[in-house]
């Protein structure tokens, strides 16, 4: 009789859906889950019926919660974003942080290029991939380290291994990998308004330089704009010294600032003064940007930078760089534009030369095909007057257009394809096709 009543109840519940879903796997799964839950409840009831136990008042709430939790403790299960990161070893539900707490992430890429260049494109950074021969190229292998040393002190590091034609040993120099400490920073966070740090930075006078660093996967395009290319000379990409930075709500503008003092450029002006300042004049910078509450996604900012240069192949000069950027962070559309003016005045001279660089890049995440495709376009321009003795032999004057398409294979890896055309003042025009797969791990 009881079996009949059971069948009746099950039939009554299932009847409205019986025709369509009697063999529906989802329904079966749901029934199995419910049965498992009943088992758990019955066990719980049995435990309670045995008499007073150690169960606390919160237990029934947890059992009857409508969203059942996996059978893991809070301390075991909580971990860092990006969701797959390792579980911190915590002692109990209070999850007391452990110091130091080293975390490692990585980026890497593999590139392909084919251009109609017949000789090396002088002045362009190696990672712009402008080679006279087509072929594959190892990109950078980048490791990012971060470690909280206390609630207020954090260390950040970035190390790269870069394929170079002359990084190996022997004569002539064989190809190999060049290791470099790109960034190492120790920062004391007083509060949101004031943070003081020391180390080797990517100079915060350029949006791209501090937004993407060596994470090729983070940027939409294959290569950085030439004005901020690694190995390029227009912007001092690295800065060794100290920064004070912070942010304030500023009435909804969300004003961020950074002021810094450091060694400035080395004698090879594409390099920072890692080993010490080459003169007794520190470089100074100031940077500010806003991210208004009312226009979520917008960032507007500007910077100034001042240094005294003693380059190997040009007279000593004072350098001023002023820059500005506007960024729309969202992907429908994405927009980044930057402008910089570099002024060089030889010591003792009364006139200065001004070189300009800018780029504008736009992209759009297509709404179809699972939103995995993002076409993009970038226009770049650099102008160096022949009177600029500092830049004229190391920075190319050109303008270029880049058409590309990014396809996100997974959440953490992408394919990118580009066509670029270049028009140079001091050399023939050329074009090329480029491909890249980049990822984080």
Q: What residues from 291 to 320 belong to the interface with other proteins (CB under 8 A)?
A: 291, 293, 296-297
Residues in contact with other proteins, counted by CB under 8 A, come to a total of 80
Write the interaction track for other proteins spanning residues 273-292; mark x where CB under 8 A is met and - where it is not.
------------------x-
Report the nearest approach of other proteins to the CB of residue 275 (Å).
23
Choosing from 40, 371, 386, 425, the residue that interacts with other proteins (CB under 8 A) is 371
**Out of 17, 21, 47, 68, the residue judged to bind other proteins by CB under 8 A:** 68
Strands 298-309 and 283-290: antiparallel
Residue 368 found at the interface with other proteins (CB under 8 A): no
One residue of 51, 83, 86, 118 binding other proteins per CB under 8 A: 83
Instruction: Give 412's DSSP letter.
Output: T
The b/e string for 219-233 (b: 16+ C-beta within 10 A; e otherwise) is bbbbbbbbbbbbebb
What whole-number distance in Å separates Cα of residue 288 and Cα of residue 204?
10
The minimum distance between CB 66 and other proteins, in angstroms, equals: 4
Query: Of the candidates 15, 18, 36, 38, which one interacts with other proteins according to CB under 8 A?
Result: 38
Q: Does 78 bind other proteins (CB under 8 A)?
A: yes
The Cα 219–Cα 378 span in angstroms is 13
Contact flag: residue 187 with other proteins (CB under 8 A): yes
Per CB under 8 A, does 66 bind other proteins?
yes
How many Å apart are CA 428 and CA 296, to the nearest integer? 43
Checking DSSP bridges between strand 373-383 and strand 398-410, what pairing results, if any?
antiparallel
CB of 166 to other proteins, least distance (A): 29
Q: Give the CA distances from residue 189 to residues 91, 153, 186, in Å, rounded to whole numbers and listed in that order.
A: 26, 6, 10
Q: What is the dihedral of CA 291, 295, 297, 302, to 10 degrees?
A: -40
* Residue 33 beta carbon to other proteins: minimum distance, rounded to whole angstroms: 9
Whether the bond into 172 is cis, omega within 30 of 0: yes
Task: For residues 392 and 79, give the distance between their C-alpha atoms in angstroms, rounded to a whole number.
Answer: 51
In the window 242-261, what residues touch other proteins (CB under 8 A)? 247, 249, 252, 254
Shortest gap between Cβ of 177 and other proteins (angstroms)? 21
Strand partners, 400: 380, 422
Residue from 115, 154, 233, 361 that binds other proteins (CB under 8 A)?
154
Cis peptide before 114 (omega within 30 of 0): no
Stretch that binds other proteins, among 2-10, 111-119, 271-279, 424-432 (CB under 8 A): 2-10
Report the site for other proteins in 118-137 (rule: CB under 8 A). none
Q: Which two tokens stand for residue 74?
A: 């809070």
CB 152, min distance to other proteins, A: 8
Q: Is the alpha carbon torsion for 64, 67, 72, 77 positive or negative?
A: negative
Contact by Cβ (8 Å): 221, 420: no
Tokens of 288: 């500010």
Q: Which helix (H) or strand (E) holds 246?
A: strand 238-248
Give the burial class of 105: count Cβ atoms within 10 A of its Cβ; 0-12 exposed, 13-18 middle, 19 or more buried. middle
Q: Which of residues 337-366 bind other proteins (CB under 8 A)?
A: none
- In the set 330, 385, 387, 426, which binds other proteins (CB under 8 A)? 330
Task: State in angstroms the smallest separation of the CB of 278 from other proteins.
Answer: 27
**Span from 29-37, 121-129, 162-170, 279-287 in contact with other proteins (CB under 8 A):** 29-37
Pick 397 or 437: Cβ nearer other proteins: 437
Q: Does 218 bind other proteins (CB under 8 A)?
A: yes
Q: Does 211 bind other proteins (CB under 8 A)?
A: yes
| 265 three-state secondary structure | strand
Distance in angstroms (rounded) separating the CA atoms of residues 428 and 123:
14
32 binds other proteins (CB under 8 A): no
Asked if residue 333 has a cis previous peptide bond (ω within 30° of 0), the answer is yes
Q: Which stretch binds other proteins (CB under 8 A): 46-54, 66-74, 272-280, 339-347?
A: 66-74
For residues 169 and 176, the answer to whether their CB atoms sit within 8 Å is: yes
CB 103 within 8 A of CB 80: yes
Q: If you ran DSSP here, which 8-state letter would residue 269 be given?
A: T
Chosen residue from 19, 70, 172, 367 binding other proteins by CB under 8 A:
70
Closest approach of Cβ 215 to other proteins, in Å? 6
Q: Is 146 in the site for other proteins (CB under 8 A)?
A: yes
- Out of 36, 55, 85, 98, name the contact with other proteins by CB under 8 A: 85
Q: Nearest approach, Cβ of 233 to other proteins (angstroms)?
A: 24
Q: Which is nearer to other proteins, 41 or 181 (CB)?
A: 41
Q: Of residues 15, 18, 74, 104, which one binds other proteins by CB under 8 A?
A: 74
Does 192 sit near other proteins (CB under 8 A)?
A: yes
What is the Cα–Cα distance from 10 to 1, expressed in whole angstroms?
14
């Amino acid at each position: 009789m009881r079996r009949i009543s059971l069948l009746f109840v099950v039939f009554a519940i299932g009847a409205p859906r019986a025709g369509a879903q009697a063999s529906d796997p989802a329904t079966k799964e749901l029934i199995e889950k419910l049965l498992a839950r009943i088992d758990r409840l019955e066990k719980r009831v049995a435990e309670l019926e045995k008499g007073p136990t150690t169960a606390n008042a919160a237990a029934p709430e947890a059992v009857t919660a409508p969203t059942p939790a996996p059978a893991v403790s809070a301390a075991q299960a909580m971990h860092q974003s990006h969701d797959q990161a390792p579980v911190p070893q915590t002692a109990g539900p209070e999850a007391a942080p452990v110091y130091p707490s080293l975390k490692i992430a990585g980026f890497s890429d593999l590139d392909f290029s084919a251009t109609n260049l017949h000789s090396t494109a002088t002045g362009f950074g190696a990672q712009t991939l402008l080679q006279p021969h087509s072929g594959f190229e190892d990109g950078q292998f980048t490791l990012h380290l971060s470690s909280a040393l206390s609630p207020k002190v954090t260390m950040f590091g970035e190390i790269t291994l870069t394929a170079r034609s002359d990084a190996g040993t022997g004569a002539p120099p064989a190809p190999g990998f060049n290791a470099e400490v790109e960034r190492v920073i120790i920062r004391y966070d007083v509060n949101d308004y004031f943070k003081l740090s020391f180390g080797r930075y990517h100079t915060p006078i350029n949006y791209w330089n501090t937004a993407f660093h060596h994470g090729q996967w983070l940027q939409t395009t294959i290569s950085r704009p030439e004005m901020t290319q690694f190995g390029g000379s227009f912007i001092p990409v690295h800065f060794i010294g100290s920064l004070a930075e912070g942010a304030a709500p500023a009435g909804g503008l969300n004003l961020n600032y950074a002021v810094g003092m450091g060694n400035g450029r080395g004698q090879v002006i594409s390099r920072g003064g890692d080993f010490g300042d080459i003169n007794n004049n520190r470089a100074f910078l100031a940077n500010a940007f806003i991210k208004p509450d009312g226009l979520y996604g917008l960032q507007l900012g500007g910077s100034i930078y001042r240094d005294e240069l003693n380059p190997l192949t040009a007279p000593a000069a004072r350098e001023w760089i002023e820059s500005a950027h506007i960024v729309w962070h969202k992907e429908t559309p994405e927009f980044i534009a930057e402008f910089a003016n570099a002024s060089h005045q030889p010591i003792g001279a009364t006139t200065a030369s001004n070189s300009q660089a800018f780029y504008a890049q736009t992209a759009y995440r297509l709404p179809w095909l699972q939103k995995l495709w993002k076409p993009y376009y970038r226009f770049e321009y650099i102008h160096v007057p022949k009177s600029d003795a500092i830049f004229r032999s190391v920075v190319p004057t050109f303008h270029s257009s880049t058409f590309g398409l990014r396809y996100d294979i997974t959440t953490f890896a992408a394919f990118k394809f580009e066509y670029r055309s270049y028009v140079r003042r001091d050399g023939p025009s050329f074009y090329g096709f480029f491909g890249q797969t980049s990822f984080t791990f």
